[in-house]
Amino acid sequence: MSSVTSSVRTPLVTGGKKAKDVTNDICKQVEGAPTTSWYIAMGISLITLGFGTFCLGSLWWEGLGLWGLNKTVGWSWDITNFVWWVGIGHAGTLISAVLLLFRQKWRTSINRAAEAMTIFAVLCAATFILAHMGRPWMAHWALPLPNAYGSLWVNFNSALVWDVFAISTYLTVSLVFWYIGMIPDFATIRERATGIRRVIYGSLSFGWTGSAKDWSRYEAVSLVLAGLSTPLVLSVHTIVSMDFATSIIPGWHTTIFPPYFVAGAIFSGFAMVLTLMLVTRAVFKLEDYITLEHIESMSKIIVLTGSIVGVAYITEFFIAAYSGVPYEKYAFINRAFGPYWWAYAAMMSCNVISPQLFWFRKVRRSIVVVFILSIVVNIGMWFERFVIICTSLNRDFIPSSWTMFYPTMYDVGVYLFTFGFFFTCFLLFAKYFPVINMAEVKAIIKSSSGNKESH
Amino acid sequence: MEKGKNYLLGVYDDEDVLMDAVGKVRGAGVKIKEVYTPFPIHGLDTALGYEYSNLPTMSFIYGMTGTITALSTLIWMLGFDWPMDIGGKGNIPLPDFIPITFEFTVLLAAHGMALTFCIVSNLAPWNYKPKMLDPRSVDDKFVMAIDLDNNKLDKAALESLLKSSGAVEVNPKLVE
């Protein structure tokens, strides 16, 4: 390759790997029998999914009354979980698209799994969209289909309708981006496989041969898809934030929401990528591909976005005080010192204080600490959405309707459903699909691996 | 690949050697049928004399189709087909139409481009048994295919040319 790597820069792939080693290391996972730990993890996921399916089924059978929602708090865990999952999904696109545009080569080892995470997370988010409708069999009412129900078309002025378009576009475009990236790797697996596996992976590989002409088109498609996905991912979370920001509820009616939500999404997404990758790395022994450098780079993004989120929290508070609007002021005082003060405190400490530890190189390079902090950040980001949604609603304009929200088993159960679904999908992906983009890793291996004799 | 053709395959094991070899072989006036590589190599397409793909232009056209379709549909639906008086506000609020117009643009641009890519490169799930000239070209080897029936040089001359350009193996291959 023409790019020159300085000897002071640490290699992206360690262990002196050659292209053949990459094929063997990644295909080994796909070809071998599932391990005991995989079966145990799958069992736990399926049990969680089973319980969640019961809760979701009951919810749809009986109605939304099973949730702890009331007249005052009409949105709570449902939309909290929705925003949380969509936010997590955004890191995958950020890694695969934005880092591709910036020519960040370290993304090649982690983009595949991060994109898979995106797709599964967006599906989990979509579950809450359907669940909170109460009558999912009427979900098509959100689409502009010819009908005889009165006002003929959907209200295109509504942020909720924008959301339908944004999430479905995001899901399908991410899916296409992810799949096109996997086609060459499926071809690699196909050529090693025999019998029925050869037919299945052959079919998945779409008959890829790796000709220079196809690679040239593939590169063009990847670049344009990355260019399209970058504004798409920003637009999706902007629209999600507009679900709140275009309303007139104090605490939601805020112009800072779009950038604040996007930063939060990247923040939580990278935390989830770290959580998953640290486990995948250990279980599949991918230490040479997902190195401490990768973990450090992701930690740096977390400290950056965590600080942006922190500034946004403080700005919100300042603007509420400065606005002179009593309702706005009250909404924020209620957030920090009202009955949900503990949620606000959890959000502040998990999202603003804990990621600051990543300023220290020792912390960024300690796998245990990074793993714990990545989970702490995700807990914090869940509380952020809960604080925004629930504390803005629980103190209504009329004090007689002030109330609290208490989750029921079904609130928890549907949340667990998405966890079960997410991890079932991720485990299937990790076992049967190539978890690391073999072709792209092979492309960078010569210019930036520890394999010095090849220079 | 057409059927019943004789190919000579030069197998390389390093992308830089391959890039030099492509220049050498083409410089000798030999037509290269195709090169198969396990990963994308920047500059290989221009070295082989391929035109840059028209796919980005196609994507732009699909995207524009999306923009026009979405915007005109929204204006027609809310402005003309079923106008609603909501607090005396206008029926065609263009800023409100930006999100859906944008999403639809991306939707058509991305899917249209991906679909066109699959069609022009003949990629489809039912194409599960492609003709691979050398299966190692999706693993770690770079394979240069030269059409023996359609070149001035004879087999022996081509073999020595490929060898001198750095090929680790030179294999004849008949595609039935």
The total number of residues written for chain A in this structure: 455
In whole angstroms, give the CA distance from residue B53 to residue B127. 23
Which residues of chain B have a CB within 8 Å of the CB of A212?
34-37, 41, 44-45, 48, 50
pLDDT above 70 for A449: no
Domains and CATH numbers, chain B: 5-52+130-175 (3.30.70), 55-120 (no CATH)
CB contact under 8 A, B99 and A162: yes
Which residues of A are less than 8 Å from B15 in CB distance?
1, 446
Residues A222, A180 contacting (CB under 8 angstroms) = yes
Are B139 and A188 an interchain contact pair (Cβ–Cβ within 8 Å)? yes
Q: How many A/B residue pairs have CB atoms within 8 Å?
A: 204
Interface predicted TM-score (ipTM): 0.92
Percent of chain A with pLDDT over 70: 95
Which residues in A lie closer than 8 A to residue B117 (C-beta atoms)?
180, 217-218, 221
Token digits of residue B121: 């490169």
- Burial (Cβ within 10 Å: 0-12, 13-18, ≥19) of residue B51: exposed
Write out chain A residues lying below 8 Å of B71, CB-based: none
Q: Which of A170, A202, A197 is nearest to A183 (CA)?
A: A202
Find the DSSP H helices in B39-150.
44-47, 55-74, 94-120
List the end-to-end C-alpha distance of chain A, in Å, as a whole number. Answer: 10
* Amino acid A452: pLDDT: 45
Cα angle A78, A395, A378; round to 5 = 40
User: Which residues of chain A make contact with B50, given a CB cutoff of 8 A?
Assistant: 212-213, 216
CA-wise closest residue to A448 among A324, A285, A224, A289: A289
The answer to whether B136 and B143 have CB atoms below 8 angstroms apart is yes
Q: For the segment A69-88, what is each residue's pLDDT rounded down to a tens digit? A: 998 998 999 999 999 999 99
Contacts of residue B68, Cβ cutoff 8 Å, sequence gap at least 6: none
Q: What is the nearest CA distance from A24 to chain B, expressed in angstroms?
A: 9
Strand partners, B41: none
Report, as an integer, the average pLDDT of A294-309.
91
Q: Measured between CB atoms, which of A165, A215, A224 is closest to B40?
A: A215
In 3-state terms, what secondary structure has residue B7? strand
* Residue count (chain B): 176
Chain B residues touching residue A228 (CB < 8 angstroms):
59, 63, 106, 109-110
pLDDT number for residue A221: 92
Q: What is the C-alpha separation between A74 and A403, in angstroms, rounded?
A: 11
Quote the CA–CA distance of A25 and A445 in Å, as a whole number.
14
pLDDT tens sequence across A232-263: 999 999 999 999 999 888 889 888 999 999 99
DSSP 8-class letter at B12: E
Q: What is the pLDDT of residues A403-423, one digit of tens each?
A: 999 999 999 999 999 999 999
The alpha carbon of residue B28 is apart from the nearest alpha carbon of chain A, in Å, by 20
Chain B residue nearest residue A174, CA to CA: B110
Of A156, A211, A220, the CB nearest to B34: A211
Buried-state track A427-449, b at ≥16 Cβ within 10 A, e below 16: bebbbebbbbbbbbbbbbbbbbb
Cα separation, A370 vs A360, whole angstroms? 11
Give mean pLDDT, residues B137-159: 84
Residue A453 has pLDDT above 50, yes or no: no
Q: Provide the pLDDT for residue A447.
A: 67
Q: What are phi and psi of B82, to 5 degrees?
A: -145, 70
Q: If you compute the radius of gyration of chain B from its CA atoms, what whole number of angstroms results?
A: 25
Distance CA A201, CA A194 (A): 10
Residue A454 has pLDDT above 70, yes or no: no
Span B72-97, pLDDT tens digits: 999 999 889 888 888 888 889 899 99
Cβ separation of A184 and B86 shorter than 8 Å? no
B5-12 and B34-36 as β-strands: parallel, antiparallel, unpaired? Answer: unpaired
Question: Percent of chain B having pLDDT more than 90?
Answer: 29
Cβ atoms A187, A205 nearer than 8 A: yes
